[in-house]
Structure 1
Amino acid sequence: MKNKLIYTFQDHLKESLKDPKFKKAWKKSQVEYDLASTLIKKRLSKKISQRNLAKKINTTQAVISRIETMSANPSLFLLKRLAEALDSKLILQFK
């Protein structure tokens, strides 16, 4: 059996960050990426679908999808409701 080369998102990101224009754009979107990534990981670890999470916070599946695909800028109120629905704590920091 041949070994297959696996090219992950992290590999792609590492390569892409060598481009100064991409690096600048990535830094601008880092917060949104971190939020989306954290939400997806937390939701999947709890084995909750987008639809069920949406029902828990009285919104639509499309809203959850837009947050997870970085197509929306959720309010602090919505983030707080998401954290509660996922039995998590919302921590906001300025560094």
Structure 2
Amino acid sequence: MKNKLYYSFEDHLKESLKDPEFKKVWEESEPEYLLAREMIRKRLEKKMSQRDLAKKLKTTQAVISRIETMNANPSLSLLKRIANVFGSNLKVSFK
């Protein structure tokens, strides 16, 4: 990463994961991060704002924001409704 004015999130994450404390916290929060990232990706792909998505789900923009910023743990029922709005299937797995 020498001589770079910036570096990607992936580069930053790779470097940060060398710290055992950070790695532990990351591993504990990774599912929430992946969910938030995928939800944002799908919402933007559909050219929807948080408000647009909230209206389709009959909820508030604040609920969508909290999910996307990992400040809420959505129910399975809400996740299924979100997937439906996106025209997607919800897949949950244990690894």
What is the TM-score with the length of structure 1 in the denominator? 0.92
> Residue 46 of structure 2 aligns with which residue?
46
State how far apart, in whole Å, the 2-side matches of 1:10 and 1:26 are. Answer: 13
* Amino acid corresponding to residue 64 of structure 1 in structure 2: I
Which residue of structure 2 aligns with residue 60 of structure 1?
60
Distance 2:85 2:51 in 1: 13
Unaligned runs of 5+ in 1: none
Aligned equivalents of 1:12, 1:83: Cα separation in 2: 30
Aligned length: 93
| Superposition pairs of residues 1-95 of structure 1, within 5 angstroms | 5-95=5-95
What is the letter of the counterpart of residue 20 of structure 1? Answer: P
Deviation at 1:5, TM superposition (A): 2.4
Amino acid at match of 2:23: K
Structure 1 runs, 4 residues or longer, greater than 4 Å off: none
Letter in 1 for 2:61: Q
Residues in 2 aligned to 1:57 and 1:72: alpha-carbon distance in whole angstroms:
16
What residue ranges of structure 2 are gaps of 5+ in the alignment?
none
How well do the aligned residues superpose, as a CA RMSD in angstroms? 1.3
Shift of 1:4: 6.3
Q: Which moved more, 1:4-13 or 1:64-73?
A: 4-13
TM-score normalised by structure 2 residue count: 0.92
